[in-house]
Amino acid sequence: MTLELASNRETAPTSRADSPLAVRGMTVSYGQKPAVFSVDMTVEPGNMTAIIGPNGAGKSTLLKAALGILTPLAGTATVYGKPVSEQRHRIAYVPQRASVDWDFPTRVIDVVLMGLYPQLGLLGRIRPVHRARATDCLARVGMEDFATRQIGQLSGGQQQRVFLARALAQDADLYLLDEPFAGVDAATEKAIIAVLKSLRDAGKTVVAVHHDLSTVAEYFDNVFLINTHRVAEGSVEEVFQANHLQDAYGGRLAGAQMDALQLS
Amino acid sequence: MNGSEFVPLSLVPMLTGIFVAVACALPGNFLVLRRQALIGDAISHVVLPGIVVAFLLTGVVSTWPMLLGAAGAALVAVLAIEGVLRLGKIESGAAMGVVFTAMFAGGVLLLEQSDTSNVHLDVEHALYGNLESLIWLDATGWGSLFDPEALATLPVELPRMAVTLLFVALFTAIFWRPLKISTFDEGFARTIGMKTGPLGLGLVIVAAIAAVAAFDAVGSIIVIAMFICPPAAARMMTNRLEYQIAWSVLFATLAAVLGYVLAGYGPLWIGMRDSVSAAGMIATVSGVILGFSALMGPHRQRGAAAPAA
């Protein structure tokens, strides 16, 4: 791993040092078949990038491997030109909502305060300034009235907003979201995209695993198409095209679906 | 009951029972929430052969050889489970179940065949412990608590369990936030740099230390019950982890005190002559508490209030 890292650094293009998230040769396997194979990705700063691909294409896996949640077979990831482990304070990650047990005995405000753990440390006291910050983050996602609710009492959309509020509390430069719109109501989807766009407009970088092709052009600036291998990467105009999509989805998109996307 | 009777006969077993119950309930809270409650069960089974082998090698019943023996047994268990999984081609839950019970049974057989007549280690104690036998002979009343000479003859199980409880409580307090965050959302915990692997292992090791220390005093029945019953009952009393821990400590203490008293005097009250096993009664009471909170706890219904998305 370290050898690879060193050689990667030497040969890396200069733009890589500025990239909020640059992945090289990422390969992950859950068994015999690789879930992600030798994937390169270079995220542009100050943009919103959608990671798109069919089910089981390795979208979430790529994110998790880049963040070190999963251990890849091979490959490296850098955040603003440095290893992820040195840049944790600049990263906020929003896992899939279904990946946690929402019956966990805790309140909404406590989940948001988890985002302040890097500041608080093991035993640092939670002061009024921390609570105010957590409440402020809840207000940004329209959840300030739910601060003392148990998280299991929230709807799916409300839970997703709480996760986003926790990420906001981290005050990061790079926001990575895994299926933030999965199973949420329309109002939540609007609220979330508004927050993400405000982050982008403030110079932050947003990367989201996304599954709804019909909203890609409306929500995102860039697209990263994956189906185990990298298919295409670039602006929505360049990449979100019929030929690339059919490549990624292996011809599984019906003509009517393609028409609905109004691709040129 | 006055002090001259209570202090020598009942104070030490009661306190030991409380310390055991609380020391197991604290890590039990996290194990139950992580859906790893079976690990507590597994530990209490697997440690038996380890403790017996440690005794056979050293000839004494003392904490460190026992801990090492238990650790060795745990290692053997992991290897055996892996072996059964690969060679037997059965699902992992069944593989674990087979290995734990087989090792426990092996421990019982080993114990039966070895000469442990001069120490408190035999099959009966392995199951029920020897809580009742923790008699403080030199105590004459409450004043003995301040008498250095009398304190010197305090059964060693009590201070051993007190130190264990202190250690477990300190671990829980110091690593409170990482334990809570990584139990709730392990992926997130990793992205903020938490070492969730070593933390999870640390939790299991702390649970194992509590189990081994408790095993000697109260046997394996109560250890299994105390890892699961008080935390599971506490979960139904509150929706906040902080309060859940407090409830579990309260329930563990209640089970220990009530169980000890009922075991000693309950049979007399209903006209029977002999007392029953304190460890067995403590485990029973903790199960009854779980039953009551399952029927009447204010937060026993999960997610029911959640409106549709």
Domain ranges of chain B: 3-218
Helix (H, G, I), strand (E, B) or coil at B193: coil
Q: How confident is the model at residue B307 (pLDDT cuts 50, 70, 90)?
A: very low
Q: Which of A106, A94, A127 is nearest to B33 (CA)?
A: A106
Three-class SS of A36-103: EEEEEEEECCCCEEEEECCCCCCHHHHHHHHHCCCCCCEEEEEECCEEHHHCHHHEEEECCHHHCCCC
pLDDT at B302: 62
pLDDT at B304: 46
Q: How confident is the model at residue B143 (pLDDT cuts 50, 70, 90)?
A: confident
Spatial separation of the C-alpha atoms in residues B84 and B87, rounded to whole Å: 5
- In this complex, do A170 and B180 lie within 8 Å of one another by their Cβ atoms? no
Q: How confident is the model at residue B38 (pLDDT cuts 50, 70, 90)?
A: confident
For residue A34, the tally of other CB atoms under 10 A from its CB is 19
pLDDT at A3: 45
pLDDT at A2: 44
What are the extents of the domains in chain A?
Answer: 2-255
- In this complex, do A104 and B33 lie within 8 Å of one another by their Cβ atoms? yes
- In this complex, do A111 and B188 lie within 8 Å of one another by their Cβ atoms? no
Spatial separation of the C-alpha atoms in residues A79 and B275, rounded to whole Å: 67
Question: Which has more confidence, B247 or B115?
Answer: B247
Which residues 6+ apart lie within 8 Å of B236 measured at CB? B293, B294, B297, B298, B299, B300
Task: Return the minimum-mean-pLDDT range out of A111-115, A166-170, B55-59, B255-259.
Answer: B55-59
pTM of the model: 0.87
Q: Is A235 on the interface with B (CB under 8 A)?
A: no
- Residue pair A207/A175 in contact (Cβ under 8 Å)? The answer is yes
Q: Convert the pLDDT of each residue in A119-170 to its tens digit.
A: 999 999 999 999 999 999 999 999 999 999 999 999 999 999 999 999 999 9
Residue B307: burial class (beta carbons within 10 Å; 0-12, 13-18, 19+): exposed
Please give the distance of CA A75 from its chain centroid, rounded to a whole number. 19
- In this complex, do A104 and B190 lie within 8 Å of one another by their Cβ atoms? no
Angle at B109 between CA B115 and CA B67, to 5 degrees: 75
Alpha helices of chain B — where are they, by DSSP H? 3-6, 12-33, 37-58, 63-88, 92-113, 123-128, 148-151, 157-174, 176-184, 186-191, 196-235, 241-269, 278-296
A99 → closest Cβ in B177, B187, B241: B187
Architecture of the domain spanning A2-255 = 3-Layer(aba) Sandwich (3.40)
Q: Which of residues 143-202 of A touch B (CB under 8 A)?
A: 150, 152-157, 166, 170, 183-185
Q: Token pair 């089910």 is at which residue? A: A55
Q: Is B305 on the interface with A (CB under 8 A)?
A: yes
Question: How many alpha carbons lie under 13 Å from residue A2 in its C-beta half-sphere?
Answer: 0
Spatial separation of the C-alpha atoms in residues B238 and B250, rounded to whole Å: 13
- In this complex, do A105 and B238 lie within 8 Å of one another by their Cβ atoms? yes
pLDDT at B303: 52
